[in-house]
Amino acid sequence: MNIPDPLNPPSRLLLGPGPCDAHPRVLRAMAAPLLGHLDPQFLEIMNAVQEMLRAVYQTQNTVTFPVSATGMAGMETCFVNLVEPGDRVVICVAGFFGQRMVEIADRVGAQTTLLERPWGEVFDLQQIRAVLQKVRPKLLAIVHAETSTGAWQPLEGLGALCHEFDTLLLVDAVTSLGCVPVAVDDWQIDAIYSCSQKGLGCPPGLSPVSFSPRAVEVFSKRKTKVQSWYFDANLVEHYWDNERFYHHTAPITMIYALHEGLRLILEEGLPARWARHRRNHEALKAGLQALGLAYTANAQHQLPQLNAVRIPAGVDDLAVRRRLLKEFHIEIGGGLGEFKGKVWRIGLMGHNSRPEVVLLFLAALEQCLASQGIKVQAGAGVSAANRVYLTGA
């Protein structure tokens, strides 16, 4: 065969729903020499990663570790461990990823009840109380940051509500961790999963999970075996706890990346990081609105890190995204599921949540929209964003 040329991927600005660009310090950490996965020095790195993950998740949960695969593996890990065939489960669905949970729960043999809202909306405690009262499920699952719609689901009070009914609370924090507050202990979350490639500013490949003592008790007293060997938390746990019992070979380089990504978050400080995401979102939003774009989620529930906006009538979705990529090396996301062709998803996550990124993107988007016949005053988007940066208004 002809040996292919060496890799030479172009440098893009990844402003879609993820992956986002990894921080340069994370990429440097990934170039460090490999250690054996049971090397005493690597074990120290694993300990540090767990300790930092607990800080970022705001939890004391002992069973907190990164699953060696992407966010979907975190989702599967939570379901396969906490649900046994025939268990009643309620899943809150207001977008693509809520729907995904339903598919996983079905494969695990759960008796699933869907609590649905139109895409772009969020759930309130009264609605959830009503379904808990009716179904009395073992577990209720909900997406904190619905990446398909840009809606930000409030979680305060939900853990306490679930526990009134002896129900476990499972949360998808794939698009929220590292961008907006995630307070696992205060919000009484029993199981949570995230990913490395969004708010944690690393490449895809790891899915940090955390289980409350109540959840650990549930999976350690299961009547049936966990369907998946690889994701059986009873086994993986002993690789990550003091036993360091061989389970699989940890993806060493990805653990280095996560180590650096978490260090960056803690150096910045969680409140400062959330405030940075909020500020750049406000500037982007002012700019997008000045370009005539409307958000899909209502004003109280818009995620700072994932800006989902409706594509204006008559504008060719693909033509705009192709031009952004070809001429400006900027990637944004198209719509998923029922939002396909109707919505753009603009991510400002982790390292990419910066003023220079916002200003460049708005300037590029203005050109692309102009080529589609959308006329605005020259520089309207950039100017509106700058007003936010300069005056806070």
Q: Report the interface residues with ligand PLP, using CB under 6 A.
A: 17-18, 70-72, 75, 97, 143, 147, 172, 174-175, 195, 204
Pick 70 or 188: Cβ nearer ligand PLP: 70
The tokens of 27 are what?
Answer: 């990429």
Pick 176 or 386: Cβ nearer ligand PLP: 176
> Is 181 exposed, middle or buried (CB count within 10 Å of its CB: 0-12, 13-18, 19+)?
middle
> Is 244 exposed, middle or buried (CB count within 10 Å of its CB: 0-12, 13-18, 19+)?
middle
Instruction: Name the nearest CA neighbour of 191 among 176, 170, 208.
Output: 170
Pick 97 or 123: Cβ nearer ligand PLP: 97
Pick 209 or 374: Cβ nearer ligand PLP: 209
Measured CA to CA, the distance from residue 190 to residue 173 in angstroms comes to 13
Instruction: Name the nearest CA neighbour of 204 among 17, 18, 9, 12.
Output: 18
Measured CA to CA, the distance from residue 131 to residue 142 in angstroms comes to 13
Pick 158 or 385: Cβ nearer ligand PLP: 158
Pick 147 or 167: Cβ nearer ligand PLP: 147
Pick 250 or 359: Cβ nearer ligand PLP: 250
Give min distance, CB of 284 to ligand PLP, in A: 19
Give min distance, CB of 264 to ligand PLP, in A: 20
- Using CA atoms, how far residue 152 sits from 1, 97, 176, 256, 313, in Å, is 50, 13, 9, 30, 26
Q: Is 168 helix (H, G, I), strand (E, B) or coil?
A: strand
Specify the length of the chain in residues: 393
Give min distance, CB of 378 to ligand PLP, in A: 35
Give min distance, CB of 377 to ligand PLP, in A: 35
Measured CA to CA, the distance from residue 263 to residue 49 in angstroms comes to 9
Residues facing residue 43 across a β-bridge: none
Pick 45 or 101: Cβ nearer ligand PLP: 101
Give min distance, CB of 197 to ligand PLP, in A: 6
Sequence letter at residue 212: S
Give min distance, CB of 16 to ligand PLP, in A: 9
Sole residue written with tokens 């952004």: 324
Nearest residue (beta carbon) to ligand PLP: 71
Pick 132 or 143: Cβ nearer ligand PLP: 143
Give min distance, CB of 69 to ligand PLP, in A: 8
Alpha helix ranges (H) inside the chain: 24-29, 40-57, 71-82, 96-108, 125-135, 158-164, 213-220, 233-240, 252-268, 270-290, 317-328, 355-370, 380-391
Give min distance, CB of 210 to ligand PLP, in A: 16
Q: How many helices (H) and strands (E) does the chain have?
A: 13, 13
Give min distance, CB of 49 to ligand PLP, in A: 18
Measured CA to CA, the distance from residue 37 to residue 249 in angstroms comes to 6
Pick 147 or 307: Cβ nearer ligand PLP: 147
Give min distance, CB of 381 to ligand PLP, in A: 26
Query: How do 343-347 and 111-116 pair as beta strands?
Result: unpaired
